[in-house]
Amino acid sequence: MSGQRLTFYEFFAGGGMARLGLGRRWSCAFANDFDPVKAATYRANFADAAEHLHEGDVWALGAEGLPGHADLAWASSPCQDFSLAGARAGLAGGRSSAFFGFWRLIEGLAEQGRSPRAIVIENVSGLLTSHGGADFTALGQALADQGYSFGALEIDAAAFLPQSRPRVFVIATRDPPPAALTGASPFHSRAVKAAAAGLPPDLERRWIWWRLAAPPARNTDLSALLEPDAAVAWHMPARTERWLELMAPLHQARLEAARARGERAVGAIFRRTRVEDSRRVQRAEVRFDGLAGCLRTPRGGSSRQAIAVVEDGTVRTRLLSPREAARLMGLPDSYGLPRAATSALHVAGDGVAVPVVRWLASELLEPLLAGASAIAAE
């Protein structure tokens, strides 16, 4: 492959899933993550990591340490404070304040005349509504203050992979967007439209309705990504029974309906804390729609998902394996995972779905940036 490639910085890089999604047309000039396990996973999967990966807190970095003039800065900052399942502390809270460590670097690059031409900020959908939209407005103001126009897309990984995983992608540009990249999109969700409508007039003028087409219909379901039954460890009947006892009547009915059909049915089970009769109770919820629930990290407020197989009138359960979790994120089986299951699940569950990034890159980012950077022919 000849010619100049597009360059990018990847902040909060984790195991490098955004890099994998961007693909061969892109060259990583700098990557950062403070988590030792994620950094080790990144190094294990990218031979050139020693040249550009910085392990450590983003607040310890300076703009002078970022090489060159990147076309794109990608940031998947910690999302816990934006999560609908969390305390909703917003940009001012806890680990999400790491965003400002990243933004301090963008401001430093601007002072040196090296602002990235485009920025992508990926986070949970709660970013759109946190503090009644005030956090999204603050983000838009930060972008506008540095000369960027911006828009947002809410993309569910279920359009690409058998996992329900909605995420918001804020795409900002310093260049006027080509007309072909603006217009209607199936990813202009109700939440995106409400966030745009809540912007003050000065930011409304900076808003871009990015056009991103829907991908081809997904042709795989959860069962297609699972290991063979004989290759995994199944729960003993007593543990399976405990899962079933945690189910509310609605989910027990789903299970019984699957049993009554008499065909093999594969479902995903995940724990949720629900309020019933003013009490917080733990519930197991099952789905048989071919999708897994959104993968969580072991420390992210949700337990590890389980698999339920209904066959010949019986129900068997087991835990989702780390490799299966990686497949649900679009990672190839050649991707090296940490040996410890908890660490592997943390790397996978805290990442960005690879095919989503690839679609965003090929259909929007590459056309947007192609005007000033030659993209090598494949």
Which DSSP string corresponds to 196-229? HHTS-HHHHTTB--B--PPPSPP---GGGGSPPG
Strands in 118-124's sheet, in edge-to-edge order, are 53-55, 26-33, 6-11, 72-75, 118-124, 166-173, 149-156
The two three-digit tokens of residue 4, written as one number: 């100049």
Helices assigned H by DSSP within the chain: 17-22, 36-45, 49-52, 98-111, 134-145, 190-197, 201-204, 237-245, 249-261, 322-328, 341-349, 354-360, 366-369
Residue pointed to by tokens 């100049």: 4
Q: What is the pLDDT of residue 86?
A: 42
Please report, in tens digits, the pLDDT of each residue of the chain (378 residues total).
Answer: 345 789 999 999 999 999 999 999 999 999 999 999 999 999 999 999 999 999 999 989 999 999 999 999 999 977 554 443 344 455 555 444 778 888 899 999 999 999 999 999 999 998 999 888 888 998 999 999 999 999 999 999 999 999 999 999 999 999 999 999 999 999 999 999 999 999 999 999 999 999 999 999 999 999 999 999 999 999 999 999 999 999 999 999 999 999 998 899 999 998 888 888 888 888 999 999 999 999 987 654 456 899 999 999 899 999 999 999 999 999 999 999 999 999 999 999 999 999 999 999 999 999 999 854 433 333
Q: Is 165 helix (H, G, I), strand (E, B) or coil?
A: coil
Q: What is the pLDDT of residue 177?
A: 93
d(CA 57, CA 46): 21
Per-residue b or e along 107-139, where b marks 16 or more CB atoms closer than 10 Å to that residue's CB: ebbbeeeebbbbbbbbbbbbbbbbbebebbbbb
CATH architecture of 6-218+349-369: 3-Layer(aba) Sandwich (3.40)
Cα dihedral sign for 30, 36, 37, 40? positive
Q: What are the boundaries of each domain within the chain? A: 6-218+349-369, 228-320
Q: What is the pLDDT of residue 84?
A: 37
d(CA 246, CA 266): 18
* Cβ-Cβ contacts under 8 Å for 263 (sequence gap 6 or more): none
pTM beyond 0.85, yes or no = yes
Single out the residue of 192, 190, 187 nearest to residue 213, CA to CA: 187
